[in-house]
Amino acid sequence: MKAATFSSTELRLARDRGHENHGWLDSWHTFSFADYYDPEHMGYGPLRVINEDRVQETSGFGTPSHRDMEIITSVLEGAIAHRDSIGTGSTITYGDVQRMSAGTGVRHSEYNAHNGETHFLQIWIEPKVLGIAPS
């Protein structure tokens, strides 16, 4: 085994993350997000958001608007109905990973499309180019 050449290993443990429970939505934030702000945890390079969300049945996010962000959604349990302003509509279930480039702006909604709680990760990565066309 070769010698380790790094000295910057750092753990980010689950229990130390930001936590908000809104009832319909239970969310753990690895990095600062919404009402959770910790200057020590603003992201890692261009990785800006990892939210672990549990959304109750028949609940979801309206049409939040995003700009200049690569958004990856990975469903761990249940299913999400995704609709957005660029005409994409799909149901994301366990094992699916969806990527959306917000670019100049996308409005999208995510609703629980499952009889029961839906558990998913939402990951945001800052793009290297601003103002691209949404996709």
Partner 1 sequence: MHQDAFVYTGLFDGETRVECRIGEGRLGYVHVARGHITANGHALGPGDALKSGSGDIALSGGRSAEVIVFDLPEEASAE
Task: Decide: is 44 part of the binding site for partner 1 (CB under 8 A).
Answer: yes
Task: Decide: is 27 part of the binding site for partner 1 (CB under 8 A).
Answer: no
Phi, psi values for residue 50, rounded to 5°: -130, 105
Task: Decide: is 73 part of the binding site for partner 1 (CB under 8 A).
Answer: no
Task: Decide: is 97 part of the binding site for partner 1 (CB under 8 A).
Answer: yes
User: Could you tell me which residues come within 8 angstroms of residue 81 by beta carbon, excluding any fewer than 6 positions away?
Assistant: 60, 89, 90, 91, 109, 110, 111, 112, 113
Q: Which two tokens stand for residue 32?
A: 């600062």
> Of 34, 29, 64, whose CA–CA distance to 47 is shortest?
29
Choose which of 39, 45, 62, 87 interacts with partner 1 (CB under 8 A).
Answer: 45
Which positions lie near partner 1, rule CB under 8 A?
Answer: 4-15, 17, 28, 30, 43-47, 50, 52, 68, 70, 72, 74, 76, 97, 99, 101, 103, 121, 123, 125-130, 132
